[in-house]
Every structure is written in C-alpha cells, then in structure tokens.
C-alpha cells in the first residue's frame, strides 16, 4: 500500500510505528489515574460530597488498569517476549521501568485498597451467598474473615495509608507515561519537560469526567436519583483541573511559538493541515474550550438541577472526547512529520488487522465489560445492601 507523502521523509520514516493502539494506552492509563485521584478526594481529603462515587471510581480504575497492557501487548512484534521486560529490564529505558510502575500501582495500591475497602462486604457475602458465588467470595477473603471492630479499624487505617501512597503513585503512573514520550529527544513534538505534568493533569481531567458520567449513567439505569450535590462537586473539581491542564498546554504552545526553533515551521504547518481537525477543532475547541465554558457557566449562573445535569453530561462527554483527541494528536501527530523537518507522511488506520480500528473499539469496550462484572461482584452503590458491622467505621461500608 502506497502511503501518501508530502515533501521529504527519511525513507524509513514513511510508515508510522505507533498506531491507534498506542493512542489507547495513554488514554486508558489516564482514566485510571484520574479515577483514582477522584476516589482519593473522599478518602484522604474527606470531601464527603463525592462519597457516592468513591467505590465506583476505584472499580473503574481497576477495570481500565487491567486492560491497559493489552494494546501494548497487541502492538509488540514479539508479544511472547514481553515478560523479558520484567525478567531482564534495561534500566536506562523509560519503557522498561514503566512495567514496574504499572505493577506497583496495580498490586500494591489499587488491588489492596479495593480489597481492604470491600473486605467487610466480602466476608459478609461469603456467609450469606449460596453456591458458586459463596465460593468466589470465600476465595476473595484470602482467608481473612475477621470483621471485628478492631480488624475493621485496622483496615480503615491501612486503606487510608494506601490511598496516601496511592496519590503520588497515580501521579507517577501517568506522569511516567508522559515521560515515555517527553524524553524522546529526537522528536520535538514530544520532547518537553512539561509533558509528564500535562499528562498528569489531562489524566485527572479525563478520569474525573469519566467517573462523573459513569455515576450519572449508572444511577439513572438503576432508577435512582442522581445526588446533585455530588455531581456539582465533581464538576467543580473537573473545571479547576481542566483550567490548570489547559493553561499548561497553552504555556507549552506559547513557548513553542515564541521560541520558533528549527522544528517550529514544520510542526506549525502540520497543525494547520494534518492535525487541524483533530487538534484545533476536536481537542481545543470542542474538547477543551467548550466544556470549560459550559462548566464555568454552571459556576456563575444559577441553573436548575435538570439543566446542570444536562450540562455536566454534555461537558463530560466532550471532555473525554477532547482528551482522547489529545492522546491521538500526541501519539499520531508525533509521527506525521519527518525528523528532517522537510516533509509529512499520512496515517491510514487499518480496520480488521491486529492494530486496526476493530481491535481498538474492542479494547475500549472491554473495560466496561470488566466493570460490569466487578460491579455485580462488588456492588459499589451506597444502597447495595452491604452489611454494616457493629461499630465499623462509617467510611466505605455505608
């Protein structure tokens, strides 16, 4: 297949190396980090208003985190060798070290926090359920069925400590993804010390928006009333984070425009042609300015509950689309121009190939499937009938 090229590319550059699957990877890890940080608001900073989303945020983070390595795995030329990254890691490689950051976050933070938070429920269900469900819950207790007041207090303290560790870990997880791109000095579109920070804030934006949408959707599906105080608060946090994220991105842009180094003319042309729709229209106008304006509107104008809910829903959807476009523009945009700064190539997404659109759609649906299973297994709803232990801490068990 002939790939359309404009100007001059080094001959080996014509073919893009990282496809849509690598776009999914920072998008998914961003949702994980953002969802976790939203959860930690309640746990560490005691923001009671967002409590209804605490467990849902944790389960969302886990669902997406379990899927995060799949696009990478599918993209590898030799997926069967991927474990070598853990067994014989090359310590100077940002990518090799990410494997450990991922494992740390999955095993030491997320799984442990969820387990501690749900342990009381799991023990209760291992006694009340019947058949295979009982077996599943018994397995999930990992032999720890002590739900005495003292044990639950220890759970609570330990959970608090893990969340404390989890916040910098979530920053590390996604900041590190930013570093994987930001440290490639050969690529001026990526190479920026701001990249990890922009990634962290954009992660928070996407994660908060996703959990807000999931909460609103799931509450409606369950025929329950949306806690408007909760979504008001989440929307407020979303707005603040978004403003910081947008400011950082604009700072990067202004710096590039003003410096106008050797790569600028080439990158500027790319933004005005190949990335015009995905960056200027979708990412900046639709995915950033519009949701910021909508969320800002709810802060300055007194609107009815229904209007606010609709605005939050719309702003949330636009935000997630905008952050996806941002990941697209970073990953794909960074490969469209030649490192000679004299030409441009084209990305043609395949459909039913290993790195095609179909697989990408499947990978985006998969976390929702996992979340559905997790929600069935470990209901996150405050009204889900979890059994309060006598004298158990109010947190997490509601």
Partner 1 sequence: MDITRRRLLMLLPAAAMAWKYVQAGTPEAAPNYKLTEHWWAMLIDIPKCIGCGSCVRACAEENDVPEGYYRTWIERYHVADWKIERPDVESPDGGKNGFPPHADEGGKNFFVPKLCNHCADSPCTQVCPVGATFVSPDGVVLVDKNYCLGCRYCVQACPYGCRFINPKTNTAEKCTLCYHRITKGLTTACCEVCPTGARQLADLKNPKDPIHEYLRTHTVQVLKPHMATGSKVFYNGMDGSVR
Interaction site with partner 1 (CB under 8 A): 8-13, 15, 17-18, 72, 75-78, 81-82, 84-85, 88-90, 92-96, 99, 184-187, 334-335, 338-342
Q: Under 8 Å CB-to-CB from 191, ≥6 apart: which residues?
A: 182, 183, 184, 185
- If you compute the radius of gyration of the chain from its CA atoms, what whole number of angstroms results? 22
The distance of closest approach from Cβ of residue 356 to partner 1 in the complex, given in angstroms and rounded to an integer, is 17
For partner 1, give the closer residue by CB, 193 or 388. Answer: 193
For partner 1, give the closer residue by CB, 160 or 264. Answer: 264
The distance of closest approach from Cβ of residue 101 to partner 1 in the complex, given in angstroms and rounded to an integer, is 13
DSSP 8-state class, residue 389:
P
- 186 and 172 Cβ atoms separated by less than 8 Å: no
Which of 221, 234, 227, 192 minimizes the C-alpha distance to 319? 234
The distance of closest approach from Cβ of residue 335 to partner 1 in the complex, given in angstroms and rounded to an integer, is 8
The distance of closest approach from Cβ of residue 100 to partner 1 in the complex, given in angstroms and rounded to an integer, is 11
- 212 and 231 Cβ atoms separated by less than 8 Å: yes
For partner 1, give the closer residue by CB, 11 or 131. Answer: 11
The distance of closest approach from Cβ of residue 355 to partner 1 in the complex, given in angstroms and rounded to an integer, is 11
Residue 240, both tokens: 């603040």
For partner 1, give the closer residue by CB, 356 or 382. Answer: 356
CA–CA–CA angle 315, 285, 287 (5° rounding): 35
For partner 1, give the closer residue by CB, 76 or 154. Answer: 76
For partner 1, give the closer residue by CB, 70 or 378. Answer: 70
**Whose structure tokens read 């030409």?**
343
> Counting every residue, how long is the chain?
398
The distance of closest approach from Cβ of residue 105 to partner 1 in the complex, given in angstroms and rounded to an integer, is 18
For partner 1, give the closer residue by CB, 185 or 348. Answer: 185
The distance of closest approach from Cβ of residue 308 to partner 1 in the complex, given in angstroms and rounded to an integer, is 44
CA 78/CA 277 separation, integer angstroms: 34
- Cα→Cα distances 45→41, 51, 351, Å: 5, 11, 45
Core vs surface per residue 295-320: b (16+ CB within 10 A) or e:
beebeeeeeeeeebbebbbebbebbb
């Amino acid at each position: 297949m002939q790939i359309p090229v404009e100007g001059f590319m080094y001959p080996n550059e014509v073919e893009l190396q990282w496809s849509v699957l690598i776009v999914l990877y920072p998008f998914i890890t961003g949702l994980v980090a953002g969802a976790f940080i939203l959860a930690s608001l309640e746990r560490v900073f005691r923001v009671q208003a967002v409590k209804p989303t605490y467990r849902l945020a944790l389960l969302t983070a886990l669902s997406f985190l379990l899927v995060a390595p799949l696009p990478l795995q599918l993209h590898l030329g030799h997926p069967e060798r991927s474990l070598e990254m853990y067994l014989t890691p090359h310590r100077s490689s940002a990518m090799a070290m990410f494997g450990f950051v991922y494992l740390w976050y999955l095993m030491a933070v997320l799984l442990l926090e969820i387990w501690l938070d749900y342990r009381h429920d799991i023990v209760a269900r291992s006694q009340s359920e019947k058949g295979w469900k009982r077996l599943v819950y018994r397995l999930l207790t990992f032999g720890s069925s002590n739900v005495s007041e003292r044990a639950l207090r220890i759970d609570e303290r330990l959970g608090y400590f893990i969340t404390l560790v989890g916040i910098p870990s979530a920053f590390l997880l996604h900041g590190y993804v930013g570093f994987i791109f930001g440290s490639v000095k050969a690529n001026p579109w990526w190479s920026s010390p701001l990249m990890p920070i922009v990634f962290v804030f954009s992660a928070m934006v996407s994660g908060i928006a996703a959990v807000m949408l999931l909460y609103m959707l799931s509450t409606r599906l369950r025929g329950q009333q949306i806690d408007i105080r909760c979504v008001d608060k989440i929307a407020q946090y979303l707005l603040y984070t978004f403003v910081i994220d947008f400011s950082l991105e604009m700072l990067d842009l202004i710096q590039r425009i003003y410096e106008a180094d050797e790569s600028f003319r080439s990158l500027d042309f790319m933004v005005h042609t190949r990335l015009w729709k995905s960056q200027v229209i979708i990412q900046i106008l639709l995915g950033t300015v519009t949701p910021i304006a909508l969320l800002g509107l709810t802060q300055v104008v007194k609107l009815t509950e229904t209007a606010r809910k609709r605005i939050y829903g719309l702003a949330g959807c636009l935000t997630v689309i905008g952050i996806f476009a941002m990941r697209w523009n970073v990953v794909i945009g960074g490969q469209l121009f030649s490192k000679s700064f004299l030409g441009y190539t084209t990305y043609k997404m395949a459909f039913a190939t290993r790195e095609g659109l179909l697989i990408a759609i499947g990978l985006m649906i998969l976390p929702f499937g996992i979340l559905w299973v997790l929600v069935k297994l470990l209901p996150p709803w405050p009204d889900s009938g979890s059994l309060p232990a006598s004298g158990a801490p109010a947190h997490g068990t509601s």
